[in-house]
Amino acid sequence: MQICVIGAGYVGLVAGTCLANFGHKVVLVDRDQEKVSCLKSGGIPIFEPGLAEAIAQAKLAEKIGFTSCLEDGMNGAELVFVAVDTPSRADGSADLSRVLQVAREISKYLNNFKTIILKSTVPVGGTRLFKETLLEQQKGHNFALLTNPEFLREGSAIYDFLYPDRVIIGTERTSEANILTDIYKPISKRIVVTTWENAELIKYASNAFLATKISFINEIAGICERVGGDINKVAEGIGYDSRIGPQFLKAGVGYGGSCLPKDIKCLIATGKQLGCEMNLLQSVVQVNLKQRHNLLQKLFELLPVKPGLTIGIWGLSFKPDTDDIRESPALDIVQRLKEVGCHIKAFDPVAMPNFKRIHPDLDYGQDPYEAVQGVEALLILTEWKEFMNINLNQVKKLMTGQIIIDGRNIFDPQLMKQQGFTYCSVGR
């Protein structure tokens, strides 16, 4: 089948590459000519384990191409996936301007019947608005419109696409979903075909629930700290309950990334527009922001604030195995440290180029050891594996002080005490 994917960002690039490796002929379209040139020359604009190899495989089979020309991508395509960003507005609602602009542009190339699949995350009513925008430009109804939200986790996106927990397809007519159902049948036994509105809500509610689990366990971690409990053991015991499950019960400095923060804010904004106060979700957001404040509070209780303090930071991405820094806790924490006059040394295995665009004035290390040389305290904000396997004796020799604030609970408190560190973690 010939497929056009509009938007060579995280979602579009992963989906398009996997579809190409299913044997379909895929053309990825992106208006960013620099990104297209990068992909054509063998480069990868994002860090995602396994993606470079998957693209190379699709190229070798001549199943994938890249262009900045929409007409070239649409020409001959039977399926058109729309995977452009829907960033947040100041009030938390989704900015659909890019999605609706795509609707206007693709309407010019619907001479032959096409099935359009909206993979961009849109709020309730977004798919219907997309259709209305198409019909404003398109005479007749020469298309079927489906919504197919993605549930990929950065760092394991290829696996998640190939082995999904479920596939959600929103449609006006069940028969129109058959073409997409046939594509997903080989990889998923759980295909839910429903209305546009239900599919849209499934996406937002899923991410809001995951964020809620994170904020919940962080609230319980606060109690653990006051009674001498161990949040890891508490989470383990909770997670064995099949009604709850262990996923996303990991206490720390809070969630970030391109999905959870954006989607929960959008769901709150949608509720407000509809007259439904989302009190629980508002608390989830507040707890998440408080986790960043709590980490700094622990630091400043041990190390009085004064200009000129040298603080080391390990981890700048919002999670390991990605270079994505969107809504990363490190952004807020670094900004606050700079405001009080701290000198910051930092290291991240892959996210430093992205972080430098926002904070070019940090002292970036070549490795974790360089980022702790001469620091009075170290903050751990991302649980990269290489931090877990670090030589702690060498770290201690390089640091001026012995304070480590572990926002991801990667070390054993007893071991750190034996090593001579003043060690604080979350909920332990």
- Per-residue pLDDT, averaged over 364-386, amounts to 98
The residue length of the chain stands at: 428
Q: How confident is the model at residue 139 (pLDDT cuts 50, 70, 90)?
A: low
CATH topology identical between 2-194 and 203-284: no
DSSP H or E run through 354: helix 352-358
The residue to which tokens 């262009």 are assigned: 67
- Per-residue pLDDT, averaged over 411-428, amounts to 97
- Per-residue pLDDT, averaged over 311-323, amounts to 98
Which of 130-144, 163-177, 196-210 shows the lowest mean pLDDT across its residues?
130-144
CATH of 2-194, one of 3.20.20.70, 1.10.1140.10, 3.30.70.420, 3.40.50.720: 3.40.50.720
* Sequence ranges of the domains in the chain: 2-194, 203-284, 293-424
Instruction: Compute the C-alpha angle 68/71/74, nearest 5°.
Output: 105
CB 105 within 8 A of CB 99: no
* Domain 203-284 class, CATH top level: mainly alpha
Catalytic residue among 4, 18, 224, 259: 259
Is it the case that residue 138 has pLDDT exceeding 80?
A: no
Phi/psi for 191 (5° steps) reads -115, 115
Looking at the DSSP bridge assignments, the partners of residue 344 are 311
CB 313 within 8 A of CB 346: yes
Is it the case that residue 140 has pLDDT exceeding 90?
A: no
**Residue range 116-125, pLDDT digits in tens:** 999 999 999 9
342 is catalytic: no
Distance CA 327, CA 262 (A): 9
Q: Virtual CA dihedral for 175, 176, 177, 180, nearest 10 degrees? A: 130
- Per-residue pLDDT, averaged over 342-354, amounts to 98
Concatenating the DSSP letter of every residue in 89-125 gives -TTS-B--HHHHHHHHHHGGG-SS-EEEEE-S---TT
- The number of beta carbons lying within 10 Å of the beta carbon of residue 63 is 19
**Residue range 240-283, pLDDT digits in tens:** 999 999 999 999 999 999 999 999 999 999 999 999 999 999 99
User: What's the pTM value of the predicted model, to 2 decimals?
Assistant: 0.94
3-state secondary structure of 5: strand
- Give the contacts of 34 (CB within 8 A, at least 6 positions apart): none
Q: Virtual CA dihedral for 232, 233, 237, 242, nearest 10 degrees? A: 30
35: tokens are 């990104």
- Per-residue pLDDT, averaged over 33-52, amounts to 94
Distance CA 339, CA 334 (A): 9
Beta strand 167-170 with 377-380 is unpaired
Percent of the chain with pLDDT over 70: 99
Q: Which CATH architecture has domain 293-424?
A: 3-Layer(aba) Sandwich (3.40)
pLDDT at 305: 84
- The alpha-helical segments, DSSP class H, found in 228-314 are 231-239, 260-273, 279-302
Percent of the chain with pLDDT over 90: 97
- The number of beta carbons lying within 10 Å of the beta carbon of residue 198 is 15
- Per-residue pLDDT, averaged over 166-194, amounts to 97
